[in-house]
Amino acid sequence: MGIKVAKFGGSSVADGIQLTKTKQIIEQDPDRKFIVVSAPGKRFDSDNKITDLLYLCKTHIDHNLPYDQVFQVVADRYMAVKLNLGVDVDLMAHLDEIRENLKKNPTADYIASRGEYLNAVLIAAFLGFDFVDAKDLIKFDAKGRLMIEETDKALKEELEKHENAVIPGFYGSTPDGNVKTFSRGGSDITGSLVARAIGADVYENWTDVSGFLMADPRIVKNPKQISNVSYKELRELSYMGASVLHEDAIYPARMANVPINIRNTNKPEDPGTMITAEGYHHGMDDDGPIITGIAGSKNFTVVALYKNMMSAERGFVRRILGILDDYDINFEHLPSGIDTVSVVMSNDSLGDRLDEVLDAFRQRLQPDSIDVFEDMALIATVGHRMSYRPGVSATLFNALGEAGVNIRMIDQGSSEMNIIVGVENKDFQKAIRAIYEAFVEEE
Ligand code: ASP
């Protein structure tokens, strides 16, 4: 027998109906011993997430507005769940305690964390599992940064004592004992930490989709599912905007080599997406797809610097980075040629400082010319298998050429795991469709 950690997201634990499905899934496999839960999410499109309502309570308190009504909506949802599940939990006592604390204007993190807390208490009773609070197990330092090794140790020590447990996601505490949450969607990280700590065979992340898609379904019609992806590939894809799993949830599982399996609570028969160290990188002759996925993002600025004999000039790139550092701007890519180097920055990071930055480039780098391309989009075509297939870049560039897309920048990582092209914002969707069709439809 193995051990599986199963994390259930907001929509999987939104109400009695969803929780009944969740229970069935857990009971189908006795290996599912440690369960991490989110706060109740939306039950229908116009519904509210509990976490949003709790943050709203805090906003009311901060503005000296009555918050009882908002909190009552939260309380009513848990009462309905309790009634539906027929569990024996003194929910009133928990709600009263929170109401008392609300009078003292607690931190937003404390208030938000109660969504996961109450849900885990109810779900533990429903499953007949132990409730294990995350507060003293998920450890943050005084600055609010996760202390990953201390957390690992605390989780190991505690979870060893339990056969089965339900653990609330999303929060832990700082050394002064105050509750601290991760960023939004952070229950995924809790699940990954638990999976690492107990050395799980797999970390299942149950949500409302059957895993990752090869491209954004708003751009490509019915894109194929990604069945296998490596941790590294996923980093390349998630960095560009995929949002099924919190980005920071990959690292803890990856450290312990625990595969992550994205699963759909509403379609438990679907195998979902498996995230492992290798992805599809098993060898040249397996029949996995050439590319794993396509992801992109709009609104970048590319500044192309040209200077004769740049390659012989020492410290040129160091000075570029120094300027970016002075302005606190992150660069996304830095593709270079013999006498050229382009700086790719997101418009978010650049803000309205383009002119200032260009002046600094002119003064401190003395380039022969500077070309600026605003409103650029970056598209990453990702896949380990691309590296040992000849003709991959030809296929990609032909596809874009035929679609009439002008490529303004190309960056191929030395791992050959991805090819990034820069195109104009207006060509973004067209380019993604062309690449998808060339690699996936043609297969
Ligand atoms: N409930 C939190 C949120 O809505 C955390 C989570 O669900 O992962 O962001």
Q: Is the CB of 316 under 6 A from ligand 1?
A: no
Q: What is the dihedral of CA 81, 87, 89, 94, to 10 degrees?
A: -10
CA–CA distance, 363 with 357 (Å, rounded to integer): 10
| Residue whose CA is at the smallest distance from ligand 1 atom 6 | 185
CA-187 nearest atom, ligand 1: 8
Q: Residues 6 or more apart from 227 whose CB is under 8 A from it?
A: 211, 271, 273, 274
Residue 4, amino acid: K
CA–CA distance, 212 with 262 (Å, rounded to integer): 8
Q: Is the CB of 168 under 6 A from ligand 1?
A: no
> Length of the chain in residues, anyone?
443
CA-182 nearest atom, ligand 1: 5
Residue with tokens 């606190």: 328
pLDDT at 325: 96
Q: What is the pTM of this model?
A: 0.87
- Helices 392-402, 428-436: axis angle to 10 degrees equals 130
Token output for 316 = 């040129």
Q: Is the CB of 49 under 6 A from ligand 1?
A: yes
Q: Distance from the CA of 169 to the center of ligand 1, in angstroms?
A: 8
Do 61 and 102 meet the contact criterion of CB atoms below 8 Å apart?
yes
R_g of the chain, CA atoms, integer Å: 25
CA-181 nearest atom, ligand 1: 5
CA–CA distance, 8 with 14 (Å, rounded to integer): 10
Along the 443 residues of the chain, how does pLDDT read in single tens digits? Answer: 799 999 999 999 999 999 999 999 999 999 999 999 999 999 999 999 999 999 999 999 999 999 999 999 999 999 999 999 999 999 999 999 999 999 999 999 999 999 999 999 999 999 999 999 999 999 999 999 999 999 999 999 999 999 999 999 999 999 999 999 999 999 999 999 999 999 999 999 999 999 999 999 999 999 999 999 999 888 888 766 657 899 899 999 999 999 999 999 999 999 999 999 988 654 545 566 789 999 999 999 999 999 999 888 889 999 999 999 999 999 888 988 889 999 999 999 999 999 999 999 999 999 999 999 999 999 999 988 787 778 888 999 999 999 999 998 888 876 678 899 999 999 999 999 999 999 987 55
Do 51 and 117 meet the contact criterion of CB atoms below 8 Å apart?
no
pLDDT at 287: 65
Task: Report the residue among 56, 116, 208, 243 best suited for mutation to probe ligand 1: largest number of ligand atoms under 8 A from its CB.
Answer: 116
Q: Distance from the CA of 430 to the center of ligand 1, in angstroms?
A: 33
Q: Residues 6 or more apart from 261 whose CB is under 8 A from it?
A: 202, 203, 204, 205, 272, 273, 274, 275
CA–CA distance, 53 with 71 (Å, rounded to integer): 8
Q: Distance from the CA of 131 to the center of ligand 1, in angstroms?
A: 19
Encode burial over 390-401: b for 16+ CB neighbours within 10 A, e otherwise: eebbebbbebbe
| Residue whose CA is at the smallest distance from ligand 1 atom 8 | 185
Do 197 and 258 meet the contact criterion of CB atoms below 8 Å apart?
no
